[in-house]
Structure 1
Amino acid sequence: MTKAKRRIIFCDFDGTITVNDNIVAIMKHFKPDGWDKLVEQVISKEVSVREGVGRMFALLPTSRKKEIVDYAIGNVKIREGFEELLAYCEREDILFLVTSGGIDFFVYPVLSGFPIPQEHIYCNGSDFNGSHIRILWTHACDEHCGNDCGMCKTTIIRSYPAAEYERILIGDSITDFAGAKLVDTVFARAHLIDLCEELSLNYKPFETFHDVITHLEEMNAR
């Protein structure tokens, strides 16, 4: 008898676990010169996510570290149903990973109140030792990805082979596009819905994590 594949969820952070995009919120609040042009260049793919985000944070002086960190953490609103989804995954033995293009100084503190082991949280690092913030790319692209992601979600997805795992992605935007093409099922909102429609990917739309739980239960019933 064939062994059933274990379900694994790769869940985005900014705009998915959180209601808002924290990187954009930080830039809008502190308004360093040139940040808006960099955002446009990332969205239009004129520059890579790694280059764009790195250059954005390099505009912020480390002398404002406390302000920036306090704002980033205090500005976060968690999407409804997140705690219930984690409890559901625990009950159903679904492996839940956070795969975030966000930065450790706000991702880790925000998620510290939830039962997610830190080794299951993938995000970018930060260095406040110089005059300006430097982003550390601790999860770079493997040889199969040429997108210069910074935090490469497809590299992480590939480390959980399709032969052993039923792979599910939850996300909303540009950093989830490549990963959505690899997995069995996508739970999508915002810009990711457009991509899933365009490529005819297997997806379900969601607004809250209660919707995700409903979709997972429907998958169980098949």
Structure 2
Amino acid sequence: MNPVVFCDFDGTITREETFVELLRTFTPEMSEKLIPRMYDLTLSLKDGVRRLLESVESRHYPEMLARMKSAPLREGFLEFLDDLKTRTIPLIVVTGGVEDFVRATLGASIRDVHSVYGLKVNTEGPFLRVFSEWESGTELVSKPRILEVAGKKMCANPPVLIGDSVTDLEAALACPVVFARDRLARYLTDRKKAYVPFEDFTEIRKAFTEMFPVDV
């Protein structure tokens, strides 16, 4: 049975932590205080991300989207996406950031993505307002909940998670197959959770094909 692939966006599909860089640009003082606390797990993602985004003035949102349009993708991602399309394996982007940012960066390639789950933003007031259908006790976007709900829609195909940081941790602990890099790899090592290390999608393509060979 073919798997369903759940993939983080910032720092995973993109080469850099684009969401963090946007926050550091548009809310620098708050970012300096809160981002380190989220990384060391002393501040919940739910509280930290909401406080950061809702401290950004709405007038900056078009500029944020414009920056995301030029965010570089991690090497091999488009080829990996094309492989999945050929094999009719769905790729679901699950971001702890903003859905609009994913669409801005991927452009026309978004047509080959099955779906995008993340934050929605309201820009009608003086400051951004954040909304999520996937809140949990500690996260604005609960990736474990998304894996469970979306996985059921995919007829229980085995889930594969690809991620790089703190927003992927809880989902990775619940997922049977994980590709991890950067902070996520360190978190999983500390917790003795097995994972496949990677730095780009060329490595993922090779390992993925070995783990899930093409049916002949």
Settle same-fold status: TM greater than 0.5. yes
Q: Cα 1:44–1:202, aligned 2, differ >3 Å: closer, same or farther?
A: closer
Q: CA deviation at 1:93?
A: 2.6
Which runs of no fewer than 5 residues in structure 2 stay unpaired?
Answer: none
* SS of aligned partner of 1:34: helix
Deviations 1:134-184 (A, max 9, x none): 11113223xxxx4x2111110011121598321110000101111111112
Maintained 8 Å contact 2:69/2:107: no
Q: 2:191 and 2:111 mapped to 1: Cα distance?
A: 32
Q: CA deviation at 1:62?
A: 1.4
- Matched with 1:28 is 24
Which runs of no fewer than 5 residues in structure 1 stay unpaired?
Answer: none
Q: 1:119 and 1:217 mapped to 2: Cα distance?
A: 20
Q: 1:32 and 1:199 mapped to 2: Cα distance?
A: 32
The list of structure 1 runs, each at least 4 consecutive aligned residues, that deviate by more than 6 angstroms after superposition, is: none
Using structure 1 for the length normalisation, give the TM-score.
0.86
- Matched with 2:59 is 63
Q: Cα 1:6–1:181, aligned 2, differ >3 Å: closer, same or farther?
A: same
Q: Cα 1:221–1:51, aligned 2, differ >3 Å: closer, same or farther?
A: same
- Matched with 1:172 is 164
Maintained 8 Å contact 2:76/2:202: yes
* SS of aligned partner of 2:108: coil
- Matched with 1:18 is 14
Matched, 1:210 2:202: yes
Maintained 8 Å contact 1:33/1:59: no
- Matched with 1:122 is 117
Q: Cα 1:134–1:118, aligned 2, differ >3 Å: closer, same or farther?
A: farther
Matches for 1:33-112 after TM superposition, within 5 Å: 33-74=29-70, 76-112=71-107
Quote the RMSD (CA, aligned, Å).
2.2
Match among 183, 198, 201 for residue 175 of structure 2: 183
Identity %: 27
Q: 1:118 and 1:187 mapped to 2: Cα distance?
A: 18
Q: Cα 1:192–1:140, aligned 2, differ >3 Å: closer, same or farther?
A: same
Q: Cα 1:206–1:87, aligned 2, differ >3 Å: closer, same or farther?
A: same
Q: 2:42 and 2:22 mapped to 1: Cα distance?
A: 22
- Matched with 1:151 is 141
Q: Cα 1:128–1:212, aligned 2, differ >3 Å: closer, same or farther?
A: same
